[in-house]
Structure 1
Amino acid sequence: MSTRTGHTATAAAKGVRWVKKVLRTGIFVICLLLLAYWRFFVSMDFLPRGERILVSESPGGNQIHLYLCNGGATTSYAIRGEAVTDRGVKNIYWQYDETRADVRWLSDEVVSINGVVLNIYEDVYDYRRNSR
């Protein structure tokens, strides 16, 4: 009878270990999927570099660098805009299906890129989240 009880305890312990292993693996896979989603569909930190097509400078010395990003054989071109300021370089504009850019400075901190008005220190336009 003691061997049967010991066997049951061992089987129960194995079952608990198996459940813990499945839960850990499931949580790890979910975390990887969330990270991949953020990396490819939310973050503007990993956009393609592209070919620089325009540099525009504000009266105060801030700059907007615009790049034409080739989408490859299956997707269209896109325009990426980065603000170059005393605070560093930051992507502030990402628009799909565009090949030209019109930049107009409204002040030293506010710029209009293809009709989208952005404060270079506070705003970000990403076509995946914003619509015109």
Structure 2
Amino acid sequence: MPKRRPPQRRPAAPGRPAATRSRPTARPRPDAGRGPSTPPPVQGTPLRRAVSARSAGPLAALGRLPRLAVPAVLGVLLLVGLAAPPLLGILCLALVLLFVGWLAYLSWPLATAGGRAGRCAMVVLLAGAIALRVAEL
């Protein structure tokens, strides 16, 4: 195995000090001091605080699942909801709507305008799909 040579460095220009490598100073993060699983403090109405507090356990459980488990289950429920007989389809679509609405409600204060529009569009589309399935009855 050949020996590794140190990287070649150009000499400093006359009248200039040689460049030294320095590490950038680390700025403390805004969330420093909180553990990785500690959510930011919830502000807002008492209802939002209560829903956020009651959702902490289920969200932690969802976070421990494999990465693709939740999207896979939601995808299956959505496909079954669109393809199954109306009663089963309505039930599956309602479960997807409840889950998406719950996550949208929890993430609303932190969402950008585009994120809020996407969340609203998803809820409206799911509600429309449920209405179409109800019309099939």
Same fold flag (TM > 0.5): no
Higher strand share: 1
Q: TM-score range by the shorter chain?
A: under 0.3
Q: Which has the higher contact order (CA 8 A, sep 6+)?
A: 2
